[in-house]
Structure 1
Amino acid sequence: MDSALEIQKPHDQLAAFLSDDMVAVNALIRDRMASEHAPRIPEVTAHLVEAGGKRLRPMMTLAAAHMCGYDGPFHVHLAATVEFIHTATLLHDDVVDESGQRRGRPTANLLWDNKSSVLVGDYLFSRSFQLMVETGSLRVLDILANASATIAEGEVLQLTAAQDLATTEAIYLQVVRGKTAALFSAATEVGGVIAGADDATVQALYDYGDALGVSFQIVDDLLDYQGQAAATGKNIGDDFRERKLTLPVIKAIALADAEERAFWQRTIEKGVQEDGDLDHALTLLNTHGTLAATRDDALAWAEKGKAALDGLPDHPVKQMLIDLADYVVDRVN
């Protein structure tokens, strides 16, 4: 009964539809994360790659290629490329954020050290570029190389924006478009490109990935304040403790009186946090209705993603991608 219910989740439906391709992607990932001279590379990579992630981004590449009628071998290379880029950024992120937990397990930097995480991340980036080149498509290389640069740019922008009370929703969106949405949109875009889809279709796939990525990150930021640790693999309030200005807080600061603003300055800008501060932050977010407003924003982006697929021909995958956009927001009760 439970397994039948589980398969109804859009990412499970996608995984079932793409199961043969995903077997090939996983085999390619295992093959390319091997290292003849540095056994620590597969050790560190396996810890993260096999930690039970949903493989959402590579599945989006495969889904886009299928929807566009592709029957060649290179969508598998591109899906593995996307997963390598994603894994590399996670390894680097956990060092930058000094994180101790990822997907409910200790992070690589905690189990090994920061040096291993950074250098293995670099190795995976390099591997991803080797895979891209094997497709023989300069356009694919251009898209994924740009995405890699945009991801790094978003992370660096977040360094300065995350603890600055002057950060606006527009800057937040720029960060999110960089660090999260850039890989979602590249994942779907290259699936269309490798299939030889027309420009309008490729643009639609890009727009879908971009909107889904923004919605996904907004929901992640929302779950940090109202999720269940068992489900998210994170502790409630991690972003607050790490002094990250995310959308619920940015909205609350815009509505804050002088006393509330002083609270945010002390806890986020100065990093002076005391017992009870997280509870007070949650009270302010609820008082100003910013959690609900943030969810509304996530819903709007999900609708934008679904609308991008409107003009594409009917295909079993198309409905799964539409359902996926709904599911991303449904993670928030």
Structure 2
Amino acid sequence: MSEGAWERVLSPIQGELLEMQKIVRQSLHSSKAPAAGEPGQLLTFASQHTLPSVLVLLCARLFGPPAAPVIALAAVVHFIYLAARSHQSVQEWPGTGDPRECYQYPVLVGDYLYSHFFNCLCRHGILSYLQPLARVICQISEGSILRLQNNKEISRAELLRKAALKEGALLLGESCRLAARLCGASEEEEEILYRFGLNYGMALVLNDLGFEVRAYVEKALALLDRLPLGEAREALKELVVLWYQAARPDLALQVV
């Protein structure tokens, strides 16, 4: 996705996104934990790293301007996402060089970021969301274990699909649902956004693994059509379409 297209998607939530980044910066700079290295190394707000937070803010915007608890939730999701990515980057030590670079450092950084997720929930008064988010973190870990297993009872393709659901899609689904809940959405709207996040998340993860993901993208877009009209819904649709067009330029996707 081009920088200009990404900026268009972010236009409805630019202010809230900056507030989210401020929370993250303050949290990291206030910590002196030596295991984390330089906090500045963790302050990455590139588009691929802020996507879960962007979804939180856009989903909330469907129902009105995102309030402070929603912005805090976006920061919490950012910590969880980066922590999971850090743990998933762990490599087997080849027996030469510094083992810290292969697995010790990524594990410590991931644990450090997970601690900030919990601290952020407490500081911003949304501790009631600890249970669903902790459940997602358990699923992420289960997905990583599953992906590395040599399970001969199911095909490798099916194993990767199951791992993709746990490692990536569930976080996006739950993030979208909790954002809607914070804004007073109906249970039906919460469920629609949860399923939207699941389908979009599956598309993101499985595309990187070489799977055909058009069906997931079309399902995500169809779910968005059941939500309130407005700038936020159009931004969500544009986000999905532009990502797919960039990922699969050989396959046209018509969107009404």
1:203 to 168, 191, 210: 191
Question: Residue deviations 1:251-295, cap 9 Å, x none?
Answer: xxxxxxxxxxxxxxxxxxxxxxxxxxxxxxxxxxxxxxxxxxx33
Instruction: Measure the CA separation in 1 of the matches of 2:53 and 2:92.
Output: 25
Shift, 1:131, TM fit: 1.7
Is 1:180–2:168 an aligned residue pair?
A: yes
Shift, 1:135, TM fit: 4.7
- Residue identity over aligned pairs, in percent, reads 24
Q: 1:207 is matched by which residue type in structure 2?
A: R
**1:21 aligned partner:** 16
1:124 to 113, 127, 135: 113
Alignment of 1:1-333 (within 5 A): 6-7=3-4, 9=5, 11-39=6-34, 41=36, 43=38, 45-50=39-44, 52-54=46-48, 55-96=50-91, 110=101, 114-137=103-126, 140-161=129-150, 166-222=154-210, 294-295=211-212, 298-330=213-245, 331-333=247-249
Question: Residue deviations 1:190-227, cap 9 Å, x none?
Answer: 110111211001001101100000001121122xxxxx
Shift, 1:139, TM fit: 5.2
Does the residue aligned with 1:196 lie in a helix, a strand or coil?
coil
Greater relative contact order (Cα < 8 A, sep 6+): 2
Q: 1:38 is matched by which residue type in structure 2?
A: A
Shift, 1:160, TM fit: 0.3
Q: TM-score, normalised by structure 2?
A: 0.84
Query: Aligned in 2, Cα 1:131/1:300: closer, same or farther, shift over 3 Å?
Result: same
Q: Between Structure 1 and Structure 2, how many residues are aligned?
A: 241
Q: 1:180 is matched by which residue type in structure 2?
A: G
Does the residue aligned with 2:89 lie in a helix, a strand or coil?
helix
Shift, 1:184, TM fit: 1.1
Instruction: Measure the CA separation in 2 of the matches of 1:40 and 1:138.
Output: 25
Higher mean Cα deviation, 301-310 or 167-176? Answer: 167-176
Does the residue aligned with 1:63 lie in a helix, a strand or coil?
helix
**1:236 aligned partner:** none
Shift, 1:16, TM fit: 2.7
Shift, 1:93, TM fit: 1.3
Question: Residue deviations 1:78-127, cap 9 Å, x none?
Answer: 111111011111111111477xxxxxxxxxx64xx632321121121011
Shift, 1:311, TM fit: 1.6
Instruction: Measure the CA separation in 2 of the matches of 1:315 and 1:42.
Output: 43
Instruction: Measure the CA separation in 2 of the matches of 1:179 and 1:48.
Output: 20
Q: 1:154 is matched by which residue type in structure 2?
A: G
The root-mean-square deviation of aligned C-alpha atoms, in Å, is 2.5
Query: Aligned in 2, Cα 1:32/1:14: closer, same or farther, shift over 3 Å?
Result: same
Instruction: Measure the CA separation in 1 of the matches of 2:183 and 2:45.
Output: 31
Q: Which stretches in structure 2 are left out of the alignment for 5+ residues? A: 94-99, 250-256
Q: Which stretches in structure 1 are left out of the alignment for 5+ residues? A: 99-108, 223-293
